[in-house]
Amino acid sequence: MTSRLRRLHAYSTALLAAAALAVLVGGGCTQRHTRPTDAPTEPGPILARLAERAAAVRSLSGMLSLEVWRGDERVRLRQLLLVVRPDKVRVDTLSPFDQPLAMMASDGQTLTIYSLENKRYEQGPATTVNLSRLLRLPLSGDELTAVLAGGVPIPAGITPTLSWDAETGTHVLEFVDGRRRQRVSLEPVAWRLVELRAWDGDAPRYVARFGDFDGEGLTAVPRRMRFEVPAESLRVDARFEDFTLNVAPPADAFTIPPPRGISVDPL
């Protein structure tokens, strides 16, 4: 190899090494988001905005398409949903062929579940444990209605801390109540809910993520939601096929009378 060729070879090798190093260094970098200069530094303004949003969306009815994963097993369902804040819920579960499978109704105090497949009628208090029997999500009535309507469940009597997450570019409200902790991630300008995480001590209760918002301002609703419950190896992907806000529900929407000849089992 001539001296000129050797110099060219050495130069090319150096360029390739430099390019490889740039790829490795660049690939390991995480984009950092700068906090907006006009962003609040105290939680008060954001909490006020979330309260306005809760007042603007008092109820929601719609059709949900769901994929429920438990480990490697998947079930596809559709649900007719009606929620009225603060804690009223009605869910009618349909098969992929739109055949009714089960109905659940809670007026905030009493919960009723009627399985048409098993001809079983159950009734009891509207606790978090009982609500999770059909929906499989560890959410209380007020948490469930807030989240399904695209809002944020705000623990009563707790002042959160406010921080900025530079990796995700979101405002973060963190509520701590004894062993329970809730982390709320919000968009920087519209302050729409992006992610919700909850822990009981060191154990994660659930993670919920939201996207594909439909609507503007205070009445924007996420069409897509993902819920994960690590302790149950559970993932629920939900998508609104359609929805209507602030409907006036029928007076009996949140009660299910026991069918004739069916016994009432306690929850």
- Enumerate long-range contacts of 168-176, CB under 8 Å, 24 or more apart: 168/33, 168/194, 168/195, 169/33, 170/194, 170/195, 171/39, 171/40, 171/46, 173/43, 173/46, 173/47
Q: Is residue 70 part of a domain?
A: yes
Residue 120's beta-bridge partner residues? 115
> Smallest Cα–Cα separation from 64: which of 196, 243, 234?
243
45's enclosing H/E stretch is helix 44-56
Rg (Cα) of the chain, in Å, rounded? 24
Which residues 6+ apart lie within 8 Å of 109 measured at CB?
A: 125, 126
Tokens coding 140 = 């209380």
For 180, the domain range is: 44-257
Q: Is residue 230 part of a domain?
A: yes
Amino acid identity, position 51: A
If one counts the domains in the chain, the total is 1
Supply the pLDDT for residue 156: 86
Residue 62's beta-bridge partner residues? 81, 243
Supply the pLDDT for residue 29: 56
Q: How far is CA 157 from the centre of its chain?
A: 22
Ordered per-residue pLDDT tens for the chain, 267 residues? 444 434 434 434 443 344 443 443 444 556 789 998 899 999 999 999 999 999 999 999 999 999 999 999 999 989 999 999 999 999 999 987 888 899 999 999 999 999 998 999 999 999 999 998 877 888 999 999 999 888 999 988 899 999 999 999 999 999 999 999 999 999 998 899 999 999 999 999 999 999 999 998 999 999 999 999 999 999 999 999 999 999 899 989 999 999 999 999 999
Q: Is residue 170 part of a domain?
A: yes
Beta strands in 170-259 (DSSP E): 170-177, 180-186, 193-200, 203-214, 221-229, 234-245
| DSSP per-residue string spanning 137-192 | ----HHHHHHHHTT-----TT-PPEEEEETTTTEEEEEEEETTEEEEEEE-SSS--
* CATH value at residue 54: 2.50.20.10
Supply the pLDDT for residue 32: 87
**Residue carrying structure tokens 């994660």:** 204
Q: Is residue 1 part of a domain?
A: no
Tokens coding 196 = 């919700």
Q: How far is CA 193 from the centre of its chain?
A: 9
CA distance 256 to 90: 10
91's enclosing H/E stretch is strand 88-94
Tokens coding 256 = 């299910």
Which residues 6+ apart lie within 8 Å of 3 measured at CB?
A: none
- Whole-structure pTM over 0.85, yes or no? no
Q: Is residue 265 part of a domain?
A: no
Q: Is residue 9 part of a domain?
A: no
Q: Is residue 33 part of a domain?
A: no
Supply the pLDDT for residue 97: 82
Supply the pLDDT for residue 6: 45
Q: Is residue 36 part of a domain?
A: no
